[in-house]
Structures are given as C-alpha cells and as structure tokens.
Amino acid sequence: MRRVYFDNNATTPVLPEVLEAMRPYFTEHFGNASSIHHHGQQTRAAVEHARESVAALLGCRTGEVVFTSGGTEGDNLAVFGLVGAGDHVITSTIEHHAVLNSCKRLEAMGCEITYVPVDGRGLVDPDDVRRALRSSSKLISIMMANNETGVLQPIEEIGKITADADVYFHTDAVQAAGKVPIEVKRIGCDLLSISGHKMHAPQGIGAIYVGKGTLLQPMLYGGSHERSRRAGTENVPGIVGLGKAAEIAKAALDHGDLVRMAEMRDRIQEKILADVQATGVNGEGAPRVPNTTNIHFDYIEGEALVIALDLKGLAVSTGAACSSGAIEPSHVLTAMGLSADRARASLRFSLGKENTPDDVDFALSLVPETVTRLRELSPVYNKTAIST
C-alpha cells in the first residue's frame, strides 16, 4: 500500500546522509568526548565540528551552542534557567506545551505570567508584549513558528522591545529551524531552542543558543559538560546527526530549495479550498513557514478524518489532544478565535524534504472524497445549507 507522510511537524525521517554521518559514532568511534585519549579526541572533534555546523545555521558563535536532548529540554532550560520566585514572565497563549507547562510550574513557584493573546491569523501583537512589561519582568518567551499553523511571529520586533526593556528573550525555534533563515543577532534573542527530529536528525537531540553573557542556571548537575550549562555525557551520534542535518538545512536555505516545498504546500491548500466546500486555512494572511498548512473542514470530526485518511495511506494530524476520554480542541486554534467545533474539524498538513509533487497528487486524490463521505455520515452536515 502506498503511504505518504505529511506530518513532518510531528517528526521527520532521518535523512540517509545524516544516518551515514552518525553510523561510525555507534561503532568504531565510540569514545567518551571527555576522555583525553585518542578515542575521546576523535569524538570531541566530531562534537565540535557539529557545534560549528549548528552555529552556522543559527548565525552565532560556537561557544553559544549548548547541546540538549531536544526542544522540550531547551525550552525548559530557558524558562527555569533564568526565572526565579517573584519574577514576571511574558509568553503567548499559542506556545508549545514545553513552554506553557513550564510557565504553569513557575506560577506554582510564585511567579507571575502574562499570556499575551493572538489575533485571528495567529499573530502576537508586539505592542501587547510591550504593554505587559513590568519592573519585575525577567523573561519573554515567544515562539518563532507555531507548530500547528506554521505562523511566524514578529520576533524581530519583540527582540527590539526586549533589548530596550533589558529583559531576557527566548524564542522556541523548533518549527522554524531549517524552514526559514535564522540569525540570532537579527532576532535579538538571548536564547533560541531547536530540535533535531523536526529537521531530519534523530529524536532525542537538540540544541539551545545561549547568547554570551546570559546568566543561565543549569537544570542538570553533574560533570562540567557543555561548559557546565548541561551536565551529562554527550550523545555523540545524535550531535553528529544534528550537525549534519544543520549543514543540509543551511545549504537548502542558501539555495532557495524551500520554494519548491512552499509551492507544493500552496497547491494542497488551493486545491482543497477550491474542491471542498466549507473549508478555510487557519492562519491565512499571516507569514508562515513553507511546509505547513492547517485547514478546517467544517462539519467533520478531525480525528475521524485523520483515521480515514490513514487507512488510505495518508498521514496527517489534528492539533486536538485526547484528555480523559474527551477530545480537547487545540489551544492554538481556539486562541485564534476558532470555535471548538471548527478547531476540532481542523487538519495539519506538514511537508518534509522527501515529499514530491506525486505525494501532493496522492493527497489531493484522497482528501475531497473522504471529506464528502464523512460529511454524508454527519448528523450536523446540511448539504443545502452550505451550498447556498
């Protein structure tokens, strides 16, 4: 059975070149990068080479890159590494749970958090961030690209606000890395987290940019790895994989390769909007990363559509979360003003490097007929009401 994977914002396949680069570090180059003998020197050199590649992707110095276990750890490190009881934090309602739940924990520890809203396109207004500032504000954490809609936030403007206010600025760039150029100096951030498995490196590896002079408390205590900012023997194969993926991502961005991906994404959404009634793009009108579109299919249960498409070989996703048996609508889409029903009726299509125009044709051959079939089964769907 043919299978097409359009869920690259959940995770991406490891590229063959990335796997090849990693392979020797599981076998012949197995040394602990902290050992001073030959074996350790070999892996240390590989770790430092990968650090250069990640620094080149982010536009920072090598000494400002700290390897982590992924986006969640980077986000947690940014939040808990800087903020203490009594501090005020500004974040947004559409952050990933790695930031939102860290902020909830801070609230329980006696911190105050302002959650700035987004507009109907999913955009934070920098003026809301400015207005939320207090003398006790310590950190602003606003993501670069949203994982569900792909919407890119005005982080350069927010960076300027944070510089004027002398507040630390963290941005979760997990869904931006490899999809849009990143220049930490232009953004004006102090911290920026990325994750390997969203950019064709393996799961369980990531990195955080920590700008020089950022006084970050570590979360893990142990050896003096990563200049005492992240204790624990380095995950050398993962780090090598992340470095290789960063090199490939940078080359693709430099050569404009993502234009092709944006064209495929645009074809999916244009054709679906043209062929299927009562649909719309969530985040329409906002700048977005080139690989993502989030579309609502009114009168449908998104989970049912995901399952029906999966049975036919197409993998996509909803932003809905199943908690205690009930399907919770996505906090991102409801924050944008979508009704719970419309949010539950929304699907995310997220493309990756390996997708082809044939994959798009395959998806387009399945989606309209599947939606029609499910709507015919739906008690709330009234064909005449939406066709007039």
Ligand X SMILES: Cc1ncc(COP(=O)(O)O)c(C=O)c1O
Q: How far apart are CB 7 and ligand X at their closest, in Å? A: 11
The active-site residue out of 60, 103, 111, 322 is 322
Is residue 79 close enough to count as binding ligand X by CB under 6 A? no
Rounded to the nearest 5 degrees, what angle is found at the Cα of 116, between the Cα atoms of 140 and 109?
A: 60
Q: How much is the CA Rg of the chain, to the nearest whole Å? A: 22
**E strands, 178-245, in order:** 191-195, 206-210
Rounded to the nearest 5 degrees, what angle is found at the Cα of 247, between the Cα atoms of 245 and 248?
A: 65
User: What is the distance between the alpha carbons of residues 308 and 181, in angstroms, rounded to a whole number?
Assistant: 36
Select 201 or 360, whichever has its Cβ closest to ligand X. 201
Is residue 71 close enough to count as binding ligand X by CB under 6 A? yes
Q: Which stretch binds ligand X (CB under 6 A): 27-35, 68-76, 252-260, 331-339?
A: 68-76
Q: Per-residue contact track with ligand X, 128 to 147, x per CB under 6 A?
A: ---------------x---x
Which pairing describes strands 88-92 and 112-116: parallel, antiparallel, or unpaired?
Answer: parallel
Q: Which of 53, 171, 195, 291 binds ligand X (CB under 6 A)?
A: 195
Is residue 172 close enough to count as binding ligand X by CB under 6 A? yes
Q: How far apart are CB 171 and ligand X at their closest, in Å? A: 10
Is residue 96 close enough to count as binding ligand X by CB under 6 A? yes
Q: Which of 94, 113, 174, 177 binds ligand X (CB under 6 A)?
A: 174
| CA distances for 97 relative to 146, 300, 363, angstroms | 12, 26, 29
Is residue 72 close enough to count as binding ligand X by CB under 6 A? yes
User: What is the distance between the alpha carbons of residues 241 and 50, in angstroms, rounded to a whole number?
Assistant: 8
Is there a catalytic annotation at residue 322?
Answer: yes
Report whether 208 contacts 78 (CB < 8 A): yes
Q: Which of 98, 261, 264, 335 binds ligand X (CB under 6 A)?
A: 98
Q: How many residues bind ligand X (CB under 6 A)?
A: 14
Q: Which of 42, 102, 141, 175 binds ligand X (CB under 6 A)?
A: 175
Select 64 or 75, whichever has its Cβ closest to ligand X. 75
For residue 230, report the phi and psi dihedrals to the nearest 5 degrees.
-155, 95
For residue 121, report the phi and psi dihedrals to the nearest 5 degrees.
-90, -5
Q: How far apart are CB 11 and ligand X at their closest, in Å? A: 8
3-state secondary structure of 370: helix
Q: How far apart are CB 176 and ligand X at their closest, in Å? A: 9
Q: Per-residue contact track with ligand X, 326 to 345, x per CB under 6 A?
A: --------------------
Select 70 or 178, whichever has its Cβ closest to ligand X. 70
Q: Which of 253, 278, 281, 275 is nearest to 349 (CA)?
A: 281
Strand partners, 139: 89, 168
Select 188 or 206, whichever has its Cβ closest to ligand X. 206
Residue 333 identity (one-letter amino acid): L
Q: How far apart are CB 271 and ligand X at their closest, in Å? A: 26
Is residue 178 close enough to count as binding ligand X by CB under 6 A? no
Is residue 70 close enough to count as binding ligand X by CB under 6 A? yes
Tokens for 85? 């009881």
Tokens for 383? 């064909």
Query: 């927010």: which residue's tokens?
Result: 158
Q: How far apart are CB 240 and ligand X at their closest, in Å? A: 17
Instruction: Kindly state the helix (H) or strand (E) to which residue 159 belongs, with its residue range.
Output: helix 155-165
User: What is the distance between the alpha carbons of residues 352 and 13, in angstroms, rounded to a whole number?
Assistant: 9
Is residue 206 close enough to count as binding ligand X by CB under 6 A? yes
Q: Which residues are catalytic?
A: 322
Contact residues for ligand X, defined by CB under 6 A: 70-72, 75, 96, 98, 143, 147, 172, 174-175, 195, 197, 206
